[in-house]
C-alpha cells in the first residue's frame, strides 16, 4: 500500500504523486455525495423551517445542554467554530429571537439560552431532519456499510491527528 518507487524530486509528471484510478473515483464520488446530500438537507430545513444548518447546529447543542444553556466558549468547543463566527452568528440569532443572553448570578459573561421560540423551532424541525438523515443517509447506506463508514471516519480522524498538522 505504501507507495514504492519514490523518486528524489516530486514532479507533476510523476504518477506516484497522484491518486490511482480507484482512489480518484472514491474521492470524487465522496465530494459529490457530500455536496448533494447537504444541498438537500439544508434546502429542506431552510424551506420548511427557516433554519440554516448553522442555526440547527447551535440549537441542537443548546437543547442538549444540562439546563438548556451554555457559555459561548462551550458552544465553540462542541461546534468547532471560530469564536468570531460564533459571536456573529449568535448576534444574528438573538436578533431573530431564537436565543438570548442571560447573566447568571455571578458576574461572568452571560450564558446563551434558547428562547421559547427557539425551543419551539428545533422541536418542530428535529423530527423532519432526523427522518431525512435516516432515509438519505442511514437507510440508504444500510447497517453493514454504515458500520464500515463509522470505522473509516475514525481512521481518517486518527490519521489527521497523528500526521503532522495540529490544525
Q: Please, which residue, 71 or 119, has the CB nearer to DNA?
A: 71
* Binder among 4, 5, 8, 10 for a copy of itself (CB under 8 A): 10
Nearer to DNA, 66 or 143 (CB): 66
Torsions phi, psi for 69 (to 5 deg):
-145, 145
Q: How many of the chain's residues bind a copy of itself (CB under 8 A)?
A: 62
Q: Give the separation between CA 115 and CA 106, rounded to whole angstroms.
A: 21
Inter-residue contact 59 to 98 (CB < 8 Å): yes
Residue in 4, 5, 21, 22 binding a copy of itself, rule: CB under 8 A:
22
Torsion-angle region of residue 142: left (phi > 0), alpha (psi -120 to 50) or beta?
A: left
User: What is the nearest approach in angstroms of DNA to the Cβ of residue 120?
Assistant: 19
Please report how close the Cβ of residue 19 comes to DNA at its closest, in angstroms: 23
Quick check: 54 binds a copy of itself (CB under 8 A)?
A: no
Residue 1, binding choice from DNA, a copy of itself, none, Cβ under 5 to 8 Å by partner class? a copy of itself
User: Which three-class secondary structure state does DSSP give residue 141?
Assistant: helix
What single-letter DSSP state applies at residue 123? H
Say which entry of DNA, a copy of itself, none residue 73 contacts (CB below 5 to 8 A, set by partner kind): DNA
Tell the smallest beta-carbon distance from residue 53 to a copy of itself (Å). 10
For residue 109, which phi and psi values (nearest 5 degrees)? -65, 150
C-beta of residue 129 within 8 angstroms of C-beta of residue 60: no
Question: Interface residues for a copy of itself in 89-118 (CB under 8 A)?
Answer: none
Amino acid at each position: 500500500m505504501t507507495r514504492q518507487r519514490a523518486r528524489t524530486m516530486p514532479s507533476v509528471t510523476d504518477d506516484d504523486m497522484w491518486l490511482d484510478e480507484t482512489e480518484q473515483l472514491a474521492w470524487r464520488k465522496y465530494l459529490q455525495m457530500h455536496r448533494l446530500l447537504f444541498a438537500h438537507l439544508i434546502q429542506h430545513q431552510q424551506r420548511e423551517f427557516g433554519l440554516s444548518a448553522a442555526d440547527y447546529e447551535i440549537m441542537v447543542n443548546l437543547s442538549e445542554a444540562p439546563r438548556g444553556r451554555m457559555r459561548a466558549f462551550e458552544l465553540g468547543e462542541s461546534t468547532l467554530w471560530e469564536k468570531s463566527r460564533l459571536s456573529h452568528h449568535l448576534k444574528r440569532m438573538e436578533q431573530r429571537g431564537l436565543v438570548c443572553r442571560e447573566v447568571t448570578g455571578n458576574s461572568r459573561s452571560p450564558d446563551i439560552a434558547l428562547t421559547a421560540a427557539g425551543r419551539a423551532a428545533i422541536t418542530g424541525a428535529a423530527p423532519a431532519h432526523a427522518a431525512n438523515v435516516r432515509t438519505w443517509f442511514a437507510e440508504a447506506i444500510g447497517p453493514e456499510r454504515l458500520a464500515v463508514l463509522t470505522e473509516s471516519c475514525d481512521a481518517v480522524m486518527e490519521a489527521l491527528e497523528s500526521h503532522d498538522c495540529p490544525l
